[in-house]
Structures are given as C-alpha cells and as structure tokens.
Amino acid sequence: MTTGTVMAVDLHEACKKRLKQTLLEALGKMGVLNGTFLNYMTVHELAVCDTVLPHKGQVADRLKSYVNETPFSSFVEELLSHDLYLNGTYEQDRDGLLRDEPRYVGLPEASDAIVEVFSDLPRQYTYSMPLAEDMGILLPDDLNEYILSDKVRLVRVLDNFTEAYPLSTGDQGKDKKLHKINSLLIGPSDPRWNKGTLCLQHKDEGFAGHYNKLAPDQRAEANFKAFMGIGIAIRLLDYRYYFRTNFNKAFFYIHAEGKEKRSIRHKRDVEPSFEDGLPHVVPHPSMKDFPDKDSLRLWQLSCLRKVHDCFSDDGDAGQRIRLAGQWLFDSYTGKNELLGFVQAMVCLEILFGEGEPTGEIGLSALLRNRCAYLIGRSQKHRSEILREFQELYVVRSKIVHTGKSGLNRNERIMLYRLRQICADAIAAEIRLISGDQLGALARMFQKSTQDQT
C-alpha cells in the first residue's frame, strides 16, 4: 500500500513568525488538570491562532485535508493532550497552568517547536483494526494479504506483521496508558497481536487526534465502515442479531511511520454505534456450504475483487458506493430504528439522488424509478419495487417531517426490506464499475496489441 504523492504544508516564514507569537500568548493562558489532562475550559484560547493561517488556496486545502477546518487550534489541542497523557504524572487535585509544567517551562521554545512540527505536516499513519477470529475465512488460506487499494488492505497477522507493527513503545508506563492496562488484572499485561487473525488496514497522512477525531481518523473509520457495508451488500458478510460472547472490545491501532521504523502512537476506540454493531458482523453463512476449498477460494477471490473495485475507484462512482456502504452499515448499528430507517434511505439517495428533482414528490419518483430499473430482474419485479419504494418513502417522510416515537411491526418489516434493497442496489452498482474496469483493461490490451503489430 502507498499513500501517493504527499505535499508538505510549507508555511511562509512570515506566517510562521506571526503564528509563533500568537501561540505563545495562548499557551500562557492554558491550564492543566491533574498534571495529565488539558483543561478544556481554556482550549478556546487557541482559536485566534487559526486566523493567522491562509483561508484560501492550496495551503488551506491541505490543512483541511490533514487536520480539519480549524487546523492549527485542533492540532495543538491534540498534540498537547497526547503529550500530557503519555508523559505527564497524574496527581489528584494538581491543577494549574501549562507554563508551570516542567515540560513547558520554556514556553517560547515550546511555541517555536510546535509551529515547526505543524509546518512539517503531514505525518504518515497506518490504522489497523483487528477482526474477530471467525473472520479469517474472508481470505483464502494460501493468501496472507489482499490489496484493496493503494491505501486499504486485508492482511493476516503473522510474525512479519507483528514485527512491522509493534504494539509496545518500549516504555512500560507509556504502554499501560496507551493500551489502558489495569495493573490489578490477572494475566498477560503486555499488549500483543492475536496471531493468525485478519486485520483491516488503512494508510493515510495528516495528523492523528488523541481524543478528538481529525481528518485522517475520520477517513480511516469511514473506510472500515464502508468495508463492512459493502461486504454485507455482496454477501461476503452478514449482519446477525445475536451477540458473540467471545468478541473483544472494538478499536484500531494507529502507527506512525518513522525514518527507520514504525512506532505505535495510539489505540483508539471506535464510536459507540460502530462498537455496538461489529459483534453482529459475521462471515456470510453460505461460505460454509461450498463442497470443496477450490470452490470456496473462487468465491472469496470474487468477493474480494468486488471490494477492490470499489476501493480502487477514485471517481464519483467509487466514492458513492463507498459512502453508500458506510450508510448501510450505520443503518444496521445503533439501537435507534428510526435513525436506522433514515440512514438506509440516505444510502439510496447517495446512489440515485443525483439530478434535478423538483420537491419531495420529484425526489421520491427519481429514487424509486432509478432503483427499480437498476435492481429489477423483470417487469413484474420492477413494478413490485416501485410499489414498495413508495410505501417506504411515506414512512421516511413521516419520520423526517412529522416525527415518530418508534416503528410499528409492519414498519419494522419494511426497514428490513429497505436494507435488502440498499444491499441489492450497492451490489448492482459494483457490477457496473467492475464491468467498466474490465472493459478498460480489455481496451488497454487491445491497444497494446495493435501497437505491437
């Protein structure tokens, strides 16, 4: 996996000079709680720093992509939070100013160093989400990785992987903080990978947050969700309404790329709804019904190829399918059925909502016609989809415009059907882009043959 060409922020020297002075004044007013946590009642002091930065042009666009829309204040907040958490010493009721902390006594030097680090962005990261043991069947036995795009891959955790992505900082105290290890627990206290299992990885650049999700964190989690949603759509995965007791807490590791080797930076919990949903995601039951390993292997590679086509397509079609997969997965997770219904409908709006519909009736007609003609297998089937879609949209409109306290039994059945329509639509869109890519390859082959003759 590669991250392509990376453009440094490269701030103008005059801008850096103003930024250092503004930051120095802000740092002098910032507080620390218990010697370990940034006092968030004082974080607003950093906001003025963002006014120093350019708001238009290439530099502004890079900063938004690397951090967020308030790049410098968010960067400093997360940088200080991470440093205080790992290197600070917790003391009850030891509250004070940042400038009184031993590590920040020399505020001018700290201010200069922070601005220089910011100007040197982006940093390179790898986000790794371990999957449950039973997900190992997603990858054929004779493969240890499958490249889904230049940024995303599915990889088996073996010795070379654990060496390349260490889970220890080399400092036992920092490791306990990083991995939230309770010294009172019985059992191995050192962090370790679960050998033989699969891991979903995403490479990105920018600056990774500590408490708050910044731009690369959001892109990583979005791709992890998209993988789950697309997997459900193509029947590689299934969402089952039972809980696996052997499922560990959901999280992903963040490794920073160094000049010589990678180092563990953070272990981040996924958002609550994502965590609630992951234990219900299992390999599709049909994978156990294949008569032999060769047949299973062909199915595995066929599904992974479809996922690859989605993630490797940087055009509008690929982006829409990934986003639709993310919203489909979100519609399954969480405990609010009303929200799940709306999220599933948004999935279809992402796929079919382009155009110029006039009003609510226009959008409804646009969606149901495009959906029916894409996934309908016959004229009769299309007519059924058109009728169902109209009923589904009525429920969606009631939720959005007049509000509902919950779904009744029939509406809950409609939600299950809506999710199935979303899955069929995503699968159909994937077939279209897969055909486009095969056609492009065929044209390239034909052209190369003509050139040789």
Phi/psi at 401 (nearest 5 deg)?
-100, -35
For 313-349, how does the pLDDT look when each residue is reduced to its tens digit (9 = 90+)? 999 999 999 999 999 999 999 889 999 999 999 999 9
User: pLDDT for 202-242, tens place per residue?
Assistant: 999 999 999 999 999 999 999 999 999 999 999 999 999 87
Take residue 356 and report the two structure tokens written for it: 């110029």
For the chain, the structural domain boundaries read 13-119, 123-180+189-307, 340-443
The 10s digit of each residue's pLDDT in 5-32 is: 678 888 999 999 999 999 999 999 999 9
Helix-helix angle 337-352:379-397, to 10 degrees: 130
Which CA distances in Å does 182 have to 35, 170, 173, 187, 264? Answer: 20, 18, 11, 11, 19
Exposure letters 10-36 (e unless 16+ CB within 10 A, then b) = ebeeeebebbbebbbebbeebbbbbbb
pLDDT of residue 275: 87
- Residue 64 CA to its chain's centroid (Å): 17
Q: Give the alpha-carbon dihedral of 290, 293, 296, 302, to 10 degrees.
A: -160
pLDDT at 111 over 60: yes
Query: Which pLDDT belongs to residue 259?
Result: 81
> What is the arithmetic mean of pLDDT over 259-266?
89
- Residue 153 confidence (pLDDT): 98
| pLDDT band, residue 102 (cuts 50/70/90) | confident
Average pLDDT of every residue of the chain = 89
In 10 A of CB 197, how many CB atoms? 15
| pLDDT at residue number 69 | 96
Q: Considering only CA atoms, which of 442, 226, 437, 204 is closest in space to residue 315?
A: 437
Residue (of 58, 49, 54) closest to 115 by Cα position: 49
Under 8 Å between Cβ of 397 and 389: no
Burial 52-71 (b: 16+ CB within 10 A, else e): bbeeeeebeebbebbbbebb
Please enumerate in sequence order all residues whose Cβ is within 8 A of that of 232, keeping only pairs 6 or more positions apart, or say none.
Answer: 238, 239, 281, 328, 329, 332, 423
Cβ–Cβ < 8 Å for 290, 299? yes
